[in-house]
Amino acid sequence: MSLAAVNWDDIEHVLKFVAALVTIIAFILLLVQLRRSSKLSTYALPDRVPVWDGNELPIWHASCMYAGTQFVNARIWRFPMLPVRGRSFEKRGKGMLWLTHEALFFLRKGQKTPIAIPFALIHEVQAAPGTMTEAHRWIALSHGAANPAMLPLFLVFSLLPQGSVKPRKGARPNFIRIIWGRRELPVVSEFQVSKEVEATEVWAQEIGRRAKSWKDGKRRSA
């Protein structure tokens, strides 16, 4: 059969139908993903968190880039790790990070209320490479949810091989990676206070020390 005999109009209609069907399925999966993320976030985030009194910033403070917070293990199909939503944890960007005697606070530029991670709920702190590829994908996904024109981009990202969250090969460990929250549903948050590994390690060690001291103090008082 020659190419001239092929009905290209019919093929075009079929391709458009398939594209529309895939887009609809992708949109439904995205809604399921966001709904599950919101429900899990309601349970994962602590009921009570320390509140910043608004006084002068303590000695331990620095300009910071917040890469996001996501569940350690929760995911659907081949989608990236579910992000934590609510209490401004889904709002990534630059701002100010500081440490008080009971919690880590981060205030993003343009926001009035900081997010808080209580030292009592921190399980592990380390200086590690950032998983910014995952964060950038979720930025695209969130835009896709609000703008249907972004759905093709969302679909491409969602079909990329995921596996576990892995940093780029050879990436420097210049992010503070904090695993915290409920033992049965831990989350991980990433912050970058410096591009220098040594400074990042100092901050990670200080946060880890404060978390350990807080827990040791609670054990002694129990």
Given this model, what pLDDT does residue 62 score?
95
Residue 26, pLDDT > 90, answer: no
**Span 47-56, average pLDDT:** 81
Distance, CA of 65 to CA of 78 (rounded, Å): 27
pLDDT band at 87 (very low <50, low <70, confident <90, very high): confident
Does 145 or 9 have the greater pLDDT score? Answer: 9
Pairwise pLDDT comparison (114 vs 16), residue with the higher score: 114
Q: What is the pLDDT of residue 163?
A: 38
More confident residue, 110 or 2: 110
Sorted by sequence, the CB contacts under 8 Å of residue 177 that are 6+ apart come out as: 125, 126, 127, 128, 130, 188, 189, 190, 204
Strand 93-99 and strand 103-108: pairing?
antiparallel
Direct distance between the N- and C-terminal alpha carbons of the chain, in angstroms, rounded to an integer: 84
* Range 3-51+58-221 has CATH code 2.60.40.10: no
**Measured between alpha carbons, how far is residue 27 from residues 13, 34, 36, 86, 158 in Å?**
21, 11, 14, 21, 11
Contact 165, 182 (CB under 8 A): no
Selection from 98, 91, 100, 103 nearest residue 46 by Cα: 103
Band of the pLDDT at 76, cuts 50, 70, 90? low
Quick one: pLDDT band at residue 162, thresholds 50, 70, 90? very low
Place of tokens 């991670």: 117
3 state SS of 143: helix
> In terms of pTM, does the model score above 0.95?
no
Confidence of residue 6 (pLDDT cuts 50, 70, 90): low
How much of the chain, in percent, has pLDDT values that exceed 90?
A: 32
What DSSP designation does 84 have?
Answer: P
pLDDT band at 160 (very low <50, low <70, confident <90, very high): very low
- The confidence score (pLDDT) of residue 122 equals 96
32 vs 200, which has greater pLDDT? Answer: 200
